[in-house]
Structure 1
Amino acid sequence: MARRGTVRAGLAFALALPLALGACGGGSGGGGGTAAGDPDTLRVLDYYNDEPNRSVWQGVLDGCATEVGVSIERESVPGEGLIQRVLQASSSRTLPDVLMLDNPDIQQIAASGALAPLTDFGLGTEGYAEGVVDASTYDGELYALQPVTNTIALFYNEQVFEEAGLTPPTTWEELKTTAAALTEGDRYGVAFSATNSYEGTWQFLPFMWSNGGDEADIATPETAEALQLWVDLLRDGSASQSVVTWGQGDVNDQFKAGNAAMMVNGPWNFGSLAENPDLRYGVVPIPAPEAGGTVVSPFGGEAWTVPQTGDEEKMAKAAEFVQCLNSDENVVAASVGTNTVPTRPELTDDAVAQVPELESFAEQVPDLRARTGQLGEEWPAAATKIYTAVQNALVGGMTPEDALRQAQDG
């Protein structure tokens, strides 16, 4: 999920309500007022409350403010409160001038009419990964630009592997045999998040998509085969039964403590893992169903948009500001500072040269897939079906085929 690979609950319902169109750099972060106000001040709204994201993006935002010739008033709200804040601002005509959105939310907010097409201001998508462009496009119009992204891969404990004389798995069969071989005492072979939430869906998608599964219809042999892999890992004890309640943070804690030899997780954990000086780990792509197969993972991260404030002059400046946030220099700085990867493959070498641990994530960028790319506004319903089926197969006693069929038809 991005670190937030989730779509806020209730978003689809909230957007069904009528929306009236009309958010810490140099400012104190108030975010009040109307869309009018000082023509040389842009209000920015995001959810980068944690470190290093808050400070890194502060530097990028301040730099762009200088380049564009404006002051900024930045407000950062908790991630779970961003969408409600956007809805309230839209109805009261107090939308910010520059708005950051989690990428799965872009199409739904665009459908409400709250965003301006970036193509109206001459912004384009040359060089961006196809999946990133898909998520930022609604009804044929581009509504956002996303500088950096993240996804998930397979972390492995190098010391444990060396002692066992094993190499990281590259196929599903190797994953099963390696996880079984490394399960010993209090240590499980592999850990992942199969929680009853969008986070569980996010972690399952690389297995489903890489095997040819389709979110439009999950009741297929391809998706059932992917789900059977997870069932087998639990059934033979290679993965803890607790994966059905573990979020990605819990999975990281288990790996960090040495309770799992491998984990499926993302680069946002680098900082936490560094807190254990005795832990040596490597990162490789999630194993493919068969040798040589392409691994298709979801991309996470956030994109920047220009809301419809009604002030054409400030919207033009806001678009220039968004373009600046996506400059080569700022993309690499954000990537290195926040342990993410550029959404333009041509920039990944610069980022990986500074943070080598990003390599396995960066090499996936060309094949990353947008969660909303096929279903758009219908994605939240599909994501719910997926995690419901996973839960029913792992703890509900249903076969993968029955669990997927029931979820699809339900």
Structure 2
Amino acid sequence: MIGSNMKRVIALIAASAAAVSLAACGSNSSQDSKTIEFWDPYPQKNDSSTWAKYVTNCAPEGYNVKRIGYAQSDLLNNLTTAVKAGNAPQIALIDNPKMPTAVDAGLVTDIEAAGVDVSGFDKNIEGPGIIDGVQYGVSYGTNALGLYYNPDVLNKAGVDPESITDWDSLNSAIEKVVNAGYKGITFSGISGEEGTFQFLPWFWGAGGQLKDASGSSAEQDALDLVSGWVQKGWAPKSVATDNQSAAWDLFLGGDYGFSENGSWQMESATEKGYKMISIPAKDGGVAPVPSGGEFITIPAQKTKDSDKMKATAEVIQCLIDGDNLKKTNDEMVYLAAKSDVRKQQVEENSAWAPWVDAVENAEGRTTDVGLEYEDISAQLSEDLQAALNKG
């Protein structure tokens, strides 16, 4: 049986081999002493987007920033190849749960040692980027999960959303919605990390710990809750294959009372008049949700250039300092990783207000378990699929 560490090594080798052609024809701009190459997982934002212009405008005097957008699933593989080939970008934005993998593979470096000031950021949001006491990246902000509801449906069903404070009151509310002739709740239980991401608030809300996840009483309680919704007909059977977008599309139809989904849906929710409450813990209070978003990192460089490293730090500082931190988060529809900036966001857009508790109670998926999270997530996903698909 191949151990998890050996699996990761094999995966990295395979990824490198698959991407070798990309590296061979890739840009050499990272070797230009006056060009700072910037990789992000936002390929949908082209060169004319406000994000692209914002990033390139952060170039220090005498330098230029070349931004390249990769699909989230491709960025880490391409970075692995680039670091080994000695033509890594100066800056790369890495998905939250991939930080331990990037650190373990030697792809990223100590961001504070490079001169980036990371003081004042929320520890719960920055957790996945801090490994063995070293900060390898800075998260400028986060998205989060919440429980959206349709006020019209709840009103007709006689449900007061403020009465939903724990699992019992949530189940009671869903039952009233269904008895009133509407549909209950949508969520994503799809196989893989996306489904695990949506399952974690229920697992954590039952008192679960990732170090003791599969087979725990907390996992069983959470599995019974969400699979029970399907068995009772309160949630569609498609949750086992629905991603978050598909689950949201069902909710936008107007027939459902509730939907577990992310803060990135806030704008479309506001347009429809939908509201949001924090996901309740089993016995009351706010359930922790997994922090999302990306970390700004400085990849390992084959050739050291102190002047270019200083300029690289200046680009990052430009994105996370003062008013620019708010601008960066507004661009990504995230809540900032600093409380004073979140306050400004709420003052400008009251739709953010109910998300503050979720963000401030959020937990990093890898903060306590590091590389082990990959295997833990895979097992939770397998258990969730089995529960959702049982007869």
Answering whether residue 333 of structure 2 is matched by residue 336 of structure 1, we say: no
Q: Contact between 2:185 and 2:256, CA under 8 Å: does it hold in 1?
A: yes
CA distance in 1, matches of 2:346, 2:37: 33
What's the secondary structure of 1:128's corresponding residue?
coil
Q: 2:312 aligns with which of 307, 318, 326?
A: 318
Answering whether residue 184 of structure 2 is matched by residue 189 of structure 1, we say: yes
Superposed, 1:384-403 pairs within 5 Å as: 384-396=378-390
CA distance in 2, matches of 1:42, 1:31: 15
Answering whether residue 256 of structure 2 is matched by residue 260 of structure 1, we say: yes
Q: 1:171 aligns with which of 146, 166, 170?
A: 166
Answering whether residue 225 of structure 2 is matched by residue 229 of structure 1, we say: yes
Q: Contact between 1:145 and 1:322, CA under 8 Å: does it hold in 2?
A: no
Cα displacement (A) at 1:104 = 1.1
Structure with the largest fraction of helix: 2
Structure 1 counterpart of 2:11: 14
Cα displacement (A) at 1:145 = 0.7
Higher mean C-alpha deviation, range 128-137 or range 383-392: 128-137
Specify every segment of 5 or more residues in structure 1 that has no aligned partner in the other structure, as ranges.
1-9, 20-29, 398-410
Cα displacement (A) at 1:77 = 1.4
Higher mean C-alpha deviation, range 136-145 or range 147-156: 136-145
Answering whether residue 139 of structure 2 is matched by residue 142 of structure 1, we say: no
Structure 2 counterpart of 1:22: none
Cα displacement (A) at 1:296 = 0.7
Q: 1:45 aligns with which of 19, 33, 39?
A: 39
Letter in 1 for 2:292: G
Q: 1:295 aligns with which of 283, 287, 308?
A: 287
Residues 1:368 and 1:281: Cα distance change in structure 2 (over 3 Å): same
CA distance in 2, matches of 1:188, 1:69: 59
Query: Percent sequence identity over matched residues?
Result: 26
Letter in 1 for 2:137: A
TM-score norm. by structure 1 comes to 0.84
Structure 2 counterpart of 1:126: 119
TM-score norm. by structure 2 comes to 0.88
Q: 1:203 aligns with which of 198, 212, 216?
A: 198
Cα displacement (A) at 1:54 = 8.4
CA distance in 2, matches of 1:16, 1:124: 34
Specify every segment of 5 or more residues in structure 2 that has no aligned partner in the other structure, as ranges.
1-6, 17-24
Residues 1:54 and 1:265: Cα distance change in structure 2 (over 3 Å): farther
Structure 1 counterpart of 2:357: 363
Answering whether residue 278 of structure 2 is matched by residue 281 of structure 1, we say: no
Aligned positions, number: 372
Residues 1:303 and 1:69: Cα distance change in structure 2 (over 3 Å): farther
RMSD (CA atoms):
2.4
CA distance in 1, matches of 2:177, 2:157: 8
Letter in 2 for 1:300: G
CA distance in 1, matches of 2:55, 2:147: 32
Answering whether residue 149 of structure 2 is matched by residue 156 of structure 1, we say: yes
Cα displacement (A) at 1:31 = 6.1
Q: Contact between 1:56 and 1:334, CA under 8 Å: does it hold in 2?
A: no
